[in-house]
């Protein structure tokens, strides 16, 4: 299966959905290479960066599930090339 590396940027503006965000990320844990979270208290948001190595459908599915949550903004950047896994 061909996989790609992607960076998923998440801005959490609604703290009530943080548990849902973490549950979704847990579901995709086997694909996650790294995760960094930064609470920005002065602005009342949290920023999460996820590095993932997975096929396009998996990356899109994760981004889509996160993006459907209220108060969550998600953007995904893909590497140019895939790699056979």
Query: CA angle 3-61-39, nearest 5°?
Result: 100
pLDDT of 84 over the 70 cut: no
Percent of residues, the chain, with pLDDT higher than 70: 95
What is the C-alpha R_g of the chain?
13
Instruction: Write out pLDDT tens, residues 23-60.
Output: 999 999 999 999 999 999 999 999 999 999 999 999 99
Strand partners, 47: 11, 38
Between 47 and 85, the more confident residue is: 47
């Amino acid at each position: 299966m061909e996989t790609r590396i992607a960076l998923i940027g998440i801005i959490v503006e609604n703290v009530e959905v943080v548990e849902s965000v973490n549950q979704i990320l847990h579901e995709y844990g086997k694909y996650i290479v790294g995760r960094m979270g930064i609470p920005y208290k002065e602005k009342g948001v949290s920023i999460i960066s996820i590095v993932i190595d997975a096929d396009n459908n998996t990356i899109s599915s994760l981004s889509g599930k996160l993006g459907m949550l209220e108060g969550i903004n998600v953007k995904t950047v893909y590497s140019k090339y895939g790699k056979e896994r």
